[in-house]
Amino acid sequence: MTDYGRFWSQRAKDLPKNPFVELLPLMKDPSAKVLCQGVPPDTTFPMQSIALTLVDGTSVTLTSEETRLAQRYPPFAWGPLREWLLKHIKQIHCPPVGLDWDVAIAAGSMSSVDLVCAAFIDRGDIVLIESFSFTASLDAFRSYGARLEPIPLDNEGMLPDALEAACLRLQANGQRAKFLYTIPVGQNPTGSTLSAERYDRIYQIARRFDLLIIEDDAYFYQQHRVRKLNAESDSGHAVKRQKLTSQDFDSTLPGLQLGISFLRLDTDGRVLRLDSFSKCLAPGFRLGWVSGARPLVAKYNALAYASSQNGCSLSMMLLGKMLETWGDEGLERHFLKLQSQLRDRCNALVKAAEDHLGELATWQRPEAGMFLWVEMKKAPRDREHLLQEMRNNGIAVLPGESCLSAPTSEQSCRYLRLSFVLPDEHYPEAMKRLATIMSCM
Amino acid sequence: MTDYGRFWSQRAKDLPKNPFVELLPLMKDPSAKVLCQGVPPDTTFPMQSIALTLVDGTSVTLTSEETRLAQRYPPFAWGPLREWLLKHIKQIHCPPVGLDWDVAIAAGSMSSVDLVCAAFIDRGDIVLIESFSFTASLDAFRSYGARLEPIPLDNEGMLPDALEAACLRLQANGQRAKFLYTIPVGQNPTGSTLSAERYDRIYQIARRFDLLIIEDDAYFYQQHRVRKLNAESDSGHAVKRQKLTSQDFDSTLPGLQLGISFLRLDTDGRVLRLDSFSKCLAPGFRLGWVSGARPLVAKYNALAYASSQNGCSLSMMLLGKMLETWGDEGLERHFLKLQSQLRDRCNALVKAAEDHLGELATWQRPEAGMFLWVEMKKAPRDREHLLQEMRNNGIAVLPGESCLSAPTSEQSCRYLRLSFVLPDEHYPEAMKRLATIMSCM
């Protein structure tokens, strides 16, 4: 098993033990007199009951007791959602039998990334990361003083050979990364999805160089184009091919059949998986979860005690009740709706791009997520030039510069991240405007 | 005005600019094509409408448009609550006319403390703090590597002379604290409330030694015993007296007449005020707010972008609508109920303590908050001794050791923090059990 000692940051080491942990058994004993809590009397809580009407017609009502819990501190409110998550993770990821794993509720995925930084990063620590990555994660890592080692990726995700080479290069310098941060599915910003074979190879590299893997799988439920499985491989997103054509994809949507994850492979306990309700239900709940080896999740909870407190009780109770009311069937129906909308909108954006940007830029159609990553044939002079042109032409896309793990002047401005969350009818006009911009570069 | 340069932590300095800030004008332009957002299509959000029934009979319903915003990212959801807060702060604290101030919504007060650490503390930085303080804040400061300089306090709060002496001592060593962290009202754990005169003196000391003041006023709305005003002083919680007797207190409860704050005095822009909905409405919303000079609040928001994201949209919309529906009248009714329950329960605990602990311990009746701070005449051998006795006798209180800013073996175990949030009938039995424990020390 993994020895975690070398991974913890100074902050994680210096955090005193939450004194309420040792009081908890007494606090739960109904015969005890509990005078240690700093919560206003329950009798002053303002809410009596809460009723939700869902878009699909389902009604969800919190009883007065559930409403009371929704107004208390998170440890009293997260029970139902935690139970649901334990079952869900087992069903979806089948963590290895030998892995002693746990789950913690998170105040959104960004808060998870923040607590990952808090747990592991001291200034100067090395983090391995896809050479294009999620802006806010990059910003968080940089603010914590991490040194980012970019690993190239293609349409099937991070390149294992490049990862291995980077680890060897570090080793030759007497250095070692703390963790690999990866967005394996519907990667932000490139839209790439890691092939099944690469999961295996990357996990083996993590073992060899003793790395943690932070698996940020925020777009896991947004898979909207499923690669066909062949006889050699039946456990994951994809078979290895030189070039995928439309014949390699299934016409059905995955629903809850979502394929592989690093957590599924994690015999060592070196994976901390970050999931989010933001991208598969709604960002406004500000809830996600982290799962993995118990010591990693315990440290997460310890740090959450002195910061996010694991998120909002009100959201936890409402979401817990909603998921319970839906059952797997309702959840799958919801995911199919999401996946089908994203597939259609992706098709509409790609079609409009083909119609208007064909000579001006290149891209790969993503299989998951919400983003199309576009490389312009001619780059703008600089970021301000690009922004000015966007203002002049009435279109907003994310300058790819914000997604570079190691910005270099040469390549920094030639990329754009386009999202396809708007209805179909917007894309022809949007791509026309983008073509105008690209033509005058 | 204050020059903030010396206060920022390395993390605050290293945090890149949120790229969406420069895109926001375009994102708000209805004629623009906005393809930069990473949010699932609105049409996949699960909730159609939300209805609350409040304990006081009020009904609060979010329309489908409001429900849509409650499911979006916080910047699209915080509008109504932010508007309410701007008005509320102006009315309650009257910040000085010359102060350019702002407010940010926070994901609970603990998250505010975390972001205060992130904004200001580099390892080794000095923080001035009441010699007994809030456990989780102490833990957060310690984990960030702050050096805590404890300032003694009495029943009227922090001692200005001691604060001045500490600043002079640091100055003599060529050192300077970054900020003073204080809980001025219903202090956790001591229950003390800062007198009006001391606000002034402490603010002047902060000016002289160029300190920020982090005013953590989580218990501000929990004032349940009002000191009478005399002719010399009409602007605050208290007049200066050698010893307060029951004649010095008014029989009415404050409601929304809550007296002074550091924000009210802040001509320099050196105060960041932390407020919480947890202690005056319900902790389960996980919402609070920070207010103060615009550059301080802007830095808070910048750090929240890469961590808490300012809390939960669902809570923001529900709370915003609830407060709007209540108006000031409904809010004051709620506060009076809270204050009256806390007053009665405080009286019940103090009465039971007088009946059972008179010979064994000393305390001061608090004027605000939820805590009675008890000093035992005989200390337990150590923390484990105390915990074992609590388990043996079926009572849970917070060992005062957890609240010491600078633990010393001599005093660390002689304090207990008792909360008075349970109904009255629990206290006689609870104090009997505590007396049993104290008698066998």
Average pLDDT of each block of 10 consecutive residues along chain B (441 residues)? Answer: 94 93 91 95 96 96 97 94 98 97 97 98 98 97 97 97 98 98 98 97 98 98 81 46 62 91 98 97 97 98 95 97 97 96 97 97 97 95 93 96 83 89 97 96 84
Task: Tell me the backbone φ, ψ of residue A359, rounded to 5 degrees.
Answer: -90, -10
Asked if A311 lies within 8 A of B286 by C-beta distance, the reply is yes
- Whether the predicted interface score ipTM is above 0.90: yes
| pLDDT over 70 percentage in chain A | 94
CB within 8 Å of A44: residues ≥ 6 apart? B334, B337, B338, B341
Q: Which of B138, B143, B326 to mutate to test the interface with A (most CBs of A within 10 A)?
A: B143
Task: Report the alpha-carbon distance of residue A373 to residue A191 in Å, rounded.
Answer: 7
Query: For A70, which residue in chain B has the nearest alpha carbon?
Result: B284
Asked if the model's pLDDT at residue A239 lies above 70, the reply is no
Task: Report the alpha-carbon distance of residue A229 to residue B172 in Å, rounded.
Answer: 73
Q: What is the pLDDT of residue B245?
A: 67
Asked if A72 lies within 8 A of B284 by C-beta distance, the reply is yes
Task: Report the alpha-carbon distance of residue A353 to residue A357 in Å, rounded.
Answer: 5
Task: Report the alpha-carbon distance of residue B379 to residue B391 in Å, rounded.
Answer: 17
Q: What is the pLDDT of residue A441?
A: 84
Asked if B188 lies within 8 A of A38 by C-beta distance, the reply is yes
A301 contacts in chain B (CB < 8 Å): none
Average pLDDT in chain A: 94
Asked if the model's pLDDT at residue A46 lies above 50, the reply is yes
| pLDDT over 90 percentage in chain A | 88
Alpha-carbon dihedral angle through residues B108, B113, B116, B117, given to the nearest 10 degrees:
-140
H or E element at residue B47: strand B47-54
Q: What is the pLDDT of residue A230?
A: 55
Of the candidates A80, A24, A5, the one whose C-alpha atom is nearest the C-alpha of residue A318 is: A80
What's the token pair of residue B236? Answer: 């605050």
H or E element at residue A104: strand A101-106
CA A359 to chain CA centroid, nearest Å: 33
Q: How distant, in Å, are the alpha carbons of A317, B130, B282, B337, B364 from that of B56?
A: 22, 38, 15, 11, 34
Identity of the residue in A37, A284, A305 whose CB atom sits nearest the CB atom of B421: A37
Asked if the model's pLDDT at residue A340 lies above 60, the reply is yes
Per DSSP, what are the bridge partners of residue A159?
Answer: none
Helix, strand, coil percentages for chain A (3-state, nearest 5)? 45, 20, 40
Q: Which of A52, A71, A133, A143 to mutate to test the interface with B (most CBs of B within 10 A)?
A: A143
Neighbours of A162 (CB within 10 A): 17
Task: Report the alpha-carbon distance of residue A85 to residue A106 in Å, rounded.
Answer: 12
Asked if B114 lies within 8 A of A52 by C-beta distance, the reply is no
**Mean local confidence (pLDDT), A153-169:** 97
Task: Report the alpha-carbon distance of residue A407 to residue A382 in Å, rounded.
Answer: 12
Neighbours of A438 (CB within 10 A): 22
Neighbours of A219 (CB within 10 A): 27
Asked if B418 lies within 8 A of A32 by C-beta distance, the reply is no
Asked if B45 lies within 8 A of A307 by C-beta distance, the reply is no
B36 contacts in chain A (CB < 8 Å): 396-398, 417, 419
Asked if the model's pLDDT at residue A163 lies above 90, the reply is yes
Burial class of B164 by CB neighbour count within 10 A (0 to 12, 13 to 18, 19+): middle
Task: Report the alpha-carbon distance of residue B81 to residue B83 in Å, rounded.
Answer: 5
Identity of the residue in B53, B307, B402 whose CB atom sits nearest the CB atom of A110: B307
Task: Report the alpha-carbon distance of residue B398 to residue B419 in Å, rounded.
Answer: 9
Identity of the residue in A35, A46, A349 whose CB atom sits nearest the CB atom of B282: A46
Asked if A306 lies within 8 A of B143 by C-beta distance, the reply is yes
Cis geometry, peptide bond prior to residue B189 (ω within 30 degrees of 0): yes
What's the token pair of residue B67? Answer: 């429900």
For B67-88, give one letter per residue: b (16+ CB within 10 A) or e: bbbbbbbbbbbbebbbebbeeb
- pLDDT confidence band for A411 (50 / 70 / 90): low
CA angle B80, B86, B88 (to 5 degrees): 100
